[in-house]
Structure 1
Amino acid sequence: MRAYGSVASFCPRCAAPLSEAPPTRCAACDYSLYVNARPTGSLIVLDGDRFLALKRAAEPRSGLWETPGGFCDGWEHPADAAVREGREELGVEVTLGDFVGMYVGSYEFQGETLPVLDCFFLATIEHGDITLDPAESSDLRWFALRDAPPLAFATMDAAIREVRQRLGR
């Protein structure tokens, strides 16, 4: 079977072979096929001038620091995904604050580079003690906004810069 990146080379509506990689139109049924960015919901958990970073335990970019977050499920809103990821990755309930922004980035998955739309929200821990999921993270640390480490993804660096500018730090 031919494949175009992470997209199969057959029409998802009628299964006819596609003549080219998306964006394209199926010659058999006229269905338009696109490759769209996958949305995420991510947290910038603040404690004064510090933000919480997790050390990635899994690929891609294992061993680098990141902010908590992950992919949206189906029709899940990025804000809901961010709260869910707070529960899953940190074991705590978070309260969302301001929306920081959306950033287009990339994510390596199963040998392909996928487009992502990373949506970041300010957050505070509502209650609970942080308990890391060892499959996701091997460590956590609070970093000063002005002294952020190199983060696993450029979208995270951009979001931290935005927060630092907004807060004047």
Structure 2
Amino acid sequence: MTAAAGFCPRCGSGLAGPPPTVCPACAYQLYVNARPTASLVVLDGQGRFLALRRAMEPMAGLWETPGGFCDGFEHPRDAAVREGREELGVEVRLGDLIGMYVGTYEFQGELLPVLDCFYFATLDVAAIRLDPAESSDMTWFDLAAPPKMAFSTMDAALVDAYRVQESLLSAK
């Protein structure tokens, strides 16, 4: 089920249809926009990236990159640093933006659109302390052959991260 609304969030009147729509009572224009997220691709210098095993739904038990939703009015770069600190227990140094990817996230029975921003990052790997509410395990996978990740945007970002790394190596 995709994100929908039956009533105007401003005045409570019934809506004629799903967003995008206009409230017939107060003329409020209602849209369903992608929610921004920020994620990290942490590389180890040996062609591998850090993956975390999700401890919560959706997609519990699958591998993911560290990251999460941006807070209201929070820049994705700031969210990426915050999420890294929360999930890994270490300070994060952001590198370049890998890219932005449109995907979906199931939440409270709805399929929400998301705009996932992925950044290269470095951190003190030896100091990682996983948040058990977020992740049950961590490992390193070959960036050239990653496993299927929890979300399609992660799969796409890892392909692009590999391409960037390969072009940097061939430029040397």
The normalised TM-score by structure 2 is: 0.92
Secondary structure (helix, strand or coil) at the match of 2:153 reads helix
- With over 3 angstroms needed to count, the CA separation of the structure-2 counterparts of 1:5 and 1:51, relative to structure 1, is closer
1:157 is aligned to: 155
Paired residues, number: 166
Task: Provide the C-alpha distance between the structure 1 equivalents of 2:126 and 2:147, rounded to a whole number of angstroms.
Answer: 26
1:97 aligns with 2:95: yes
Q: C-alpha offsets along residues 55-83 of structure 1, whole Å, 9 cap, x if unaligned? A: 01111111110000000111101111100
Partner of 1:141: 139
Of 6-15 and 45-54, deviating more is 6-15
Shift of 1:147: 2.3
Contact 1:95/1:126, CA 8 A, preserved across alignment: no
Tell me which residue corresponds to 2:127: 129
| 8 Å Cα contact 1:37-1:117 kept in structure 2 | yes
Instruction: Please state whether the residue corresponding to 1:134 is helix, strand or coil.
Output: coil
CA distance in 2, matches of 1:5, 1:99: 29
Q: State yes or no: 1:54 paired with 2:52.
A: yes
* CA distance, structure 2, for counterparts of residue 36 and residue 52 of structure 1: 30
Q: Which residue of 1 aligns with 2:86?
A: 88
> Any unmatched runs of 5+ in structure 2?
none
Residue 106 of structure 1: aligned partner: 104
Determine if the alignment matches structure 1 residue 14 to structure 2 residue 11.
yes
Q: Do 2:5 and 2:19's aligned partners in 1 also have CA atoms closer than 8 Å?
A: no
Instruction: Give the 3 Å change call, closer, same or farther, for CA 152–93 of structure 1 in structure 2.
Output: same
Higher strand share: 1
Q: CA-to-partner distance for each residue in 1:71-120, whole Å, 9 max, x for gaps?
A: 01111011111000001100000100000110000011111111100000
Tell whether the 8 Å contact from 1:83 to 1:94 is kept in structure 2 after alignment. Answer: yes
Question: Partner letter of residue 88 of structure 1?
Answer: E
Q: Structure 1: how far apart are the matches of 2:68 and 2:95?
A: 18
Matches of 1:128 and 1:120 in 2, distance apart?
22
Residue in 2 that maps onto 1:39: 36
Per the TM alignment, residue 25 of structure 1 is displaced from its structure 2 partner at its CA by 0.5
Q: 1:7-49 deviations in whole A, cap 9, x for unaligned? A: 4311122221111111101111111100001100110011111
Q: Which runs of 4+ in 1 moved over 4 A?
A: none
Normalised by the length of structure 1, the TM-score is 0.93
Answer yes or no: is the 8 Å Cα contact 1:53–1:66 preserved in 2.
Answer: yes
Q: Is the 8 A contact 1:41 1:72 kept in 2?
A: yes
The letter for the 2-side match of 1:33 is L
